[in-house]
Structure formats: C-alpha cells, structure tokens
Amino acid sequence: MVCMENIKQLCYENKIILAPMVRINTLPMRLLALDYGADIVYTEELIDHRLIRCYRKVNETLQSVDYIDKSDATVVFRTCSREKPYVVLQIGTSDPERAAKAAQVVEQDVAGIDINMGCPKDFSLKGGMGAALLFNPNKACAILSAVVSAVKIPVTCKIRVLQNIDDTVALCKKLAATGIAAIGIHGRTIKERPMHPNRDHFIKTISEALNIPVIANGGSKEIKVFEDIIKFKNITGCSSVMIARTAEKNCSIFKRDGKLELCTVIRDYLRHAVDYDNVAPNTKYCIQNMLQNIQETEQGRHFLESTSLQQICDLWELGDYCRQKQKKMNYLRFEERDVACNDQKRIKPNSVDEEETKNDVNSLKCMYIRSLYPRPEDLPKTKLLNWAKLHNKPLPKYHTEQFEKLFKSTVTFDNQKYSSSFWEKNKRWAEQGSAIVCLHYLKVYDINYMKINGILG
C-alpha cells in the first residue's frame, strides 16, 4: 500500500484511532485521546441537515472554531487548532448532494470526512442512513463519489460486515473504487452486538483484498492494555486500528507506557470540558461511561445528583478552576443567541421585543445560568414565589412566546410585567430569566451581582 502523506493529506496507514461514538466524541474527549497518544480522532456522527444549517464562528474566548445552528444557537461542532491535523468529521447522510454540501461546510477545519455506513440504530436505518446504506450500494457509492469530488481532504467510510464474507468483500471493493482514502470495518453484522464475537477473519480477508488502508474496529472486548491493540492489528492484518468502547471507559488506553488511574483520566477530561465550555449533560454522560460500577460509591452518588459542570468539577477538586473559566465564557452565550434571535426576527418580525415596547414591560438582557443555583430554593422562580408569599402578593404568572426553537418569557407580578430580552433554548429557562429581571427590580438581585456572575448582557 502507498500512503501519500503531506501537510494537507491525512494518512490512514499504521494509525491508532479514536472511533466515532455518539455523545462521547465531543471536543474534550477527542483532545484527551490525542493527549494520550491517539493518532487520529473521529467526531461523533453529525447529521448532514444540521451541518448545512450551521454558520461558522471563530470563538476568540475559547480559541476554538464553532459551527452553530442558526435556528437555536446550539453548538453542533466545536474544534480547535490542536486537533485540526488529526480530526475526522463523521457525517450521517442518505443523500449525495446533502452529504457533499455538509462536507464543504466544515472542510476548512478538519483533516478528513467520514461517511457513517455502519450505525444499526433505528434512527439511522429509518432515515436511510448508517447501516441502511450497506443494502443500497449504488446510493452508498454515489454518496462517496459526490463527497470525494466536493472536497480536497481525504474521504473515508465506516461499515459493518455483511453476513457473507464474499458479499462483504465485493461491497468493500465497490466502495473503494469511489476514490476513498481508507475504509473502517466493524467486524459485526447489523444485528450483532458487543456480546457477539468480532469477525476478525472478515477484516483480514478484506484487508488482503483492498489496496487502500483498512481500519479494524470491534475488538474492544479483548483490548485491556495497549499491547492488545497491536495484537488486534496483527490478527486482522489491517493497516490501522480503531478503538471505541475501551477508550470510552478509559481513554488512556492509547498510552504506550500504560493506562492511568481513572481519577486522573476524569480530571484530565474535566479540564478540557471546562476549557471548551462543554455542556454539563454531555460531560456527565461521558464521565458516567467511565465510572460504570464506581457510581455506587459515595462520590459516585454525589456525581449522579450533580446538574452542572461546576458541581461535577467540585467532586474532582477542580471547582475553583471551573468557576474562574466560566465567568469569562458566559458572555459568549449572549453573542451566539443574538445571532439566532436576529435570524428569527427576520422570519417573524412581530417579535416579543415589540410587545415589550407596547406593553411597558420592564426589561433587561440577562441570562439564566443553571450552575449559579445549585439548590432548588435558590432558583429565581422559587425565590420570586417565596418573596410573593412573604409579602402577601399575588403569585407570579408567566407567559412564554416561542419563535422556532427559541423562547422568551414575561412574568406578571404585582400589576407589572418583567422580561429578559435574551432568548433561551427552552421554556423553563425563559421563565427563570424573566424571574431574574423581576427580582432585580424588587432589589433582590443587584447589578453588581449580575455582572460579576456573567448574567447581565
């Protein structure tokens, strides 16, 4: 095999790779894998429709590049210069034109594009994506050909094996003929799960039949230490190895000199999560997959009760580090949500902002930040409710407007209306934001408190 490697071309020969995993392979995990010795890191699967809907933003505060969904300001893909030469973005698609367009959206910030042809989940199959493409080889080849023609970076695909080895080899030859740079092979069929043995002999036969690098996947069950990765590579006769579940549990499997204690791995992961403002639910999900049975310990139980990145960091003695970083990052959310807000105003000009002017709504631009309210009684809505009861006032009433995927709420209290001009991602947060404004006018929250905590825009 010949591997043309230069500054612009990612080489897939003799590499150890972090495999794509949904909800796991966000930026913190990819960076952690690179820290520990992975040669290439794949993103989680990102659907073509969402990528096409994104705009690109250079995030000066985080020193990252963000692809942000215009409809709701969600960060769909975040990357940085550290990973650019090694990151492969995996696309979920069922259409050649959409796949090519999505690949072009992110081309300048990644080293390669992968098309998911192996996911067996119902969501993918019903949409004609993932493993559904294995049974529609003409469409699979059309997608790959379209993406290869559309971008200047390497294109690959990741598949599962078919029931018959000859059929699998024939399919792989068709896919390879589209001009892809490499192919990843998970050695199980669409119906097989981790408890089933990986069909290593399938991968070996495919590797011998193709003249492009073959990346073996599915061997995590037998991979406990780094040397097991090399054994898996030798058994399958492949060019490279792709690791999923073993890396999910302890990413230091990539370290040539031996794995680290899980506590160290979690702390290393959390630093990346804090540095790149990773959302708390995703951070928690990744750590849950690391902890496994350790969740039964006292620390594990406290972890399961956590709801914010700050609370998670406190458990691993990174609380102060998290607090210092998050104050700087909160200002970013105002700017990102304003883009989505302006986009929605163009779609629906009779916005809540106009209603505020008409109805003399007391308004401030402030954001609800969940981590600032660790106890239920601290939540702005709860605090306002208790204030009303204490002062024998009518209970507050909330009215929420929705435009596309964004929400803005107005609370009526003591014959006055209060609203934040900041658009939130869900109704609950929008109501909390309006309660913050009301509490400010009631002199429960002052401007200095709001500025110090990054609440005020």
Catalytic residue ranges = 119
Q: Are the beta carbons of 54 and 76 closer than 8 angstroms?
A: yes
- Which string of DSSP letters, residue by residue, matches 241-277? EEE-HHHHH-GGGG-TT-PPPHHHHHHHHHHHHHHTT
366 CB neighbour count, 10 Å cutoff: 23
Q: In Å, how far are 85, 99, 328, 404 from 110, measured between CA atoms?
A: 7, 15, 27, 30
In 340-405, DSSP assigns E strands to 362-364, 397-403
Give burial (CB, 10 Å; 0-12/13-18/19+) of 152.
exposed
> How many helical (H) and strand (E) elements, i.e. helices and strands, does the chain have?
18, 15
Q: Which residues of 292-314 are buried (b: 16+ CB within 10 A; e: fewer)?
A: eeeeeeeebeebeebebbbbbbb
For residues 281 and 291, give the distance between their C-alpha atoms in angstroms, rounded to a whole number. 15
d(CA 112, CA 149): 13
Task: Report how far residue 219's alpha carbon sits from residue 213's, in angstroms, rounded to the nearest whole number.
Answer: 18
Check if the beta carbon of residue 251 is closer than 8 Å to that of residue 272: no
- Report the SS3 class of residue 443: coil
Q: How far is CA 56 from CA 69, 117, 182, 317, 346, in A?
A: 9, 26, 28, 34, 20
Position 214, amino acid: V
431 and 397 in contact (C-beta within 8 Å)? no
DSSP 197: P
Q: How many residues does the chain have?
A: 457
CA dist., res. 68 & res. 75, Å (int): 4
User: How far apart (Å, rounded) are the C-alpha atoms in residues 101 and 62?
Assistant: 27
Q: Yes or no: say if 116 and 131 are a contact pair by the CB < 8 Å rule.
A: no
Q: Tell me which residue of 244, 187, 190 sits closest to 23, measured CA to CA.
A: 244
